[in-house]
C-alpha cells in the first residue's frame, strides 16, 4: 500500500489535454480509414513516414516541446491523451516515435542549443527518424558493458564498434548511441557518453533483421572509423549512464506499455455478445487495465513535474507488458472454447499476428528479469 500511495500519487487528466481527443479521433478516422485490424495491430511498430508528416502538420508531434523549437508547448498529459488515441486507433507511429518520445526530450534536457535548433523543429514536422543505439552484441541487459568506442580525433571523435536490435535503424536518419569514451568495458558505468550520429556518414554499414512475424523491424550496425564532429557529443563526456537512465524513464512509463494488444481486445470484445464466460474474461482484463492506466497517468504526472520516475516506470512496464501479453492468450482461450462459432477472419489474423509478437513486449525496453532487479533495488529490498 505504501508503494502505491508514495510512488504512484493519483493524477487526473486536465481538461486542456482531454480537449485533444475529439479532433484527434476525427483526424484518425479520416486518415486511417479502412485499414484492416491486423495492420492496425502493429500500432507503435507500424512505420509510415507520410502518416508522421501528416501528424506533424496538425501540430501533434513534439507536443510537449517548447514552441520556440516548433513544439506544441503543452504538458505531458496532453501527450498521454495523444498517445492513447493513436494506439487505440492502431496508427502507424514508428517513424516519429523514438524522436518524439525520447530523442527530442533527451536533447531538450542535455543537448546544446545548436543541437536543439537543428533537430527539434524537424522532429516536430515529422521529417526525421531517430533510432536508439544502446544494445550491442554481448551488451543487452548488461548495458554498462558496451564496447563501441569513440576516441578523440582531429577536434572530434572516431567511432568504432557495433550495435544490434536497433528498431528501424535501417530506415532512420539519426541514432543516439551510448558508447565508451574512456576506460575499459570493466569500468562499467564510468566513461560512457552519448552521441548523435548522422547515419549517412562514411564507415557506417547497416543490415535489417527480420522478426518471426516476417516484418523487418530491427537492424544491426557496424561502425568503422566513422568521423564525428565535436558537436556530435550529447551532454557531458562521461555522463552517458545517467543520461541513458533518464531516457529510459521516458521509454518505459507511457501508455504504449499497456495498449500493444488493444486493437485485438476491441475487435474480440465487439463479437462476444452475452456469453457469460467471455464477459467474465473481458471483465478480468478491464479490471487489470484500469489501475495500470492510473499508474501510467501517475508517472506522466511525475514527468510533468520534471522528475525522473525510474523505479516506478520499471514497475509499470513489468506489470503493463504482462497485461498486454495476456490479451492474445485470453482471446485464444475464448476462441478455443467456442469451436461452433464462425469467427471473423480478420480477428483470427490479428490474433495470429499478436501471438507471434507478444513475447517481445517484455523484452523491448529492458527484460522482465532486469526490471525486477531494478524495482527491488529502487525499493531498498536488495
Ligand X SMILES: Cc1cc2nc3c(=O)[nH]c(=O)nc-3n(C[C@H](O)[C@H](O)[C@H](O)COP(=O)(O)OP(=O)(O)OC[C@H]3O[C@@H](n4cnc5c(N)ncnc54)[C@H](O)[C@@H]3O)c2cc1C
Task: Name the residues annotated as catalytic.
Answer: 251
CB of 209 to ligand X, least distance (A): 10
Which C-beta is closer to ligand X: that of 344 or that of 363? 363
Minimum separation from the CB atom of position 75 to ligand X (A): 26
The minimum distance between CB 116 and ligand X, in angstroms, equals: 22
Residue 24 contacts residue 79 (beta carbons within 8 Å):
no
Give whichever of 260 and 298 is closer to ligand X, judged by the CB atom. Answer: 260
Residues forming beta bridges with residue 150, ordered by sequence position: 159
Q: How far is the CB of 284 from ligand X (least distance, A)?
A: 27
Q: Judged by CB, which is closer to ligand X: 135, or 321?
A: 135
Extract the C-alpha cell encoding 80.
498521454
Provide the 3-class DSSP secondary structure of residue 129: coil
- Residue nearest ligand X, Cβ-based: 140
Shortest reach from residue 192's CB to ligand X, in Å: 13
Q: What is the DSSP letter of 366?
A: S
At its nearest, how many Å lie between ligand X and the CB of residue 369?
3
Would you tell me which residues interact with ligand X (CB under 6 A)?
Answer: 131-135, 140-141, 165-167, 360, 363-364, 366-367, 369-370
**Nearer Cβ to ligand X (135/181):** 135
Amino acid at each position: 500500500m505504501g508503494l502505491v500511495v508514495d510512488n504512484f500519487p493519483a493524477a487526473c487528466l486536465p481538461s486542456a489535454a482531454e480537449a485533444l481527443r475529439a479532433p484527434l479521433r476525427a483526424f484518425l478516422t479520416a486518415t486511417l480509414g479502412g485499414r484492416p485490424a491486423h495492420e492496425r495491430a502493429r500500432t507503435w511498430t507500424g512505420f509510415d513516414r507520410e502518416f508522421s508528416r501528416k501528424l506533424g502538420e496538425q501540430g501533434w508531434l513534439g507536443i510537449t516541446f517548447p514552441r520556440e523549437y516548433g513544439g506544441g508547448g503543452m504538458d505531458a498529459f496532453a501527450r498521454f491523451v495523444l498517445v492513447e488515441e493513436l494506439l487505440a486507433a492502431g496508427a502507424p507511429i514508428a517513424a516519429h516515435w523514438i524522436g518524439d518520445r525520447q530523442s527530442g526530450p533527451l536533447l531538450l534536457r542535455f543537448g546544446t542549443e545548436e543541437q536543439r535548433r537543428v533537430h527539434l523543429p524537424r522532429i516536430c514536422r515529422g521529417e526525421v527518424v531517430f533510432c536508439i543505439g544502446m544494445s550491442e552484441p554481448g551488451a543487452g541487459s548488461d548495458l554498462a558493458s558496451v564496447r563501441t568506442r569513440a576516441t578523440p580525433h582531429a577536434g572530434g571523435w572516431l567511432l568504432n564498434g557495433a550495435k544490434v536490435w536497433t528498431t528501424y535503424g535501417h530506415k532512420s536518419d539519426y541514432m543516439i548511441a551510448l558508447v565508451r569514451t574512456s576506460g575499459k568495458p570493466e569500468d562499467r558505468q564510468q566513461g560512457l557518453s552519448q552521441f548523435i550520429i548522422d547515419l549517412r556518414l562514411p564507415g557506417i554499414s547497416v543490415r535489417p533483421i527480420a522478426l518471426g512475424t516476417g516484418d523487418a523491424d530491427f537492424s544491426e550496425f557496424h561502425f568503422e572509423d566513422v568521423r564525428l564532429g565535436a558537436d556530435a557529443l550529447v551532454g557531458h563526456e562521461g555522463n552517458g549512464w545517467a543520461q541513458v537512465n533518464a531516457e529510459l524513464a521516458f521509454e518505459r512509463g507511457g501508455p504504449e506499455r499497456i495498449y500493444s494488444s488493444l486493437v485485438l481486445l476491441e475487435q474480440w470484445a465487439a463479437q462476444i455478445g452475452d456469453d457469460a464466460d467471455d464477459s467474465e474474461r473481458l471483465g478480468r482484463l478491464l479490471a487489470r487495465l484500469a489501475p495500470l492506466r492510473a499508474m501510467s497517468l501517475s508517472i506522466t504526472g511525475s514527468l510533468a513535474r520534471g522528475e525522473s520516475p525510474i523505479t516506478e516506470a520499471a514497475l509499470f512496464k513489468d506489470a503493463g507488458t504482462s497485461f498486454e501479453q495476456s490479451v492474445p492468450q485470453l482471446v485464444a482461450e475464448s476462441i478455443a472454447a467456442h469451436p461452433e462459432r464462425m469467427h471473423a477472419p480478420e480477428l483470427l489474423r490479428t490474433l495470429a499476428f499478436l501471438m507471434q509478437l507478444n513475447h517481445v513486449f517484455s523484452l523491448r525496453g529492458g527484460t522482465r528479469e532486469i526490471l525486477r532487479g531494478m524495482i527491488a533495488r529502487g525499493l531498498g529490498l536488495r
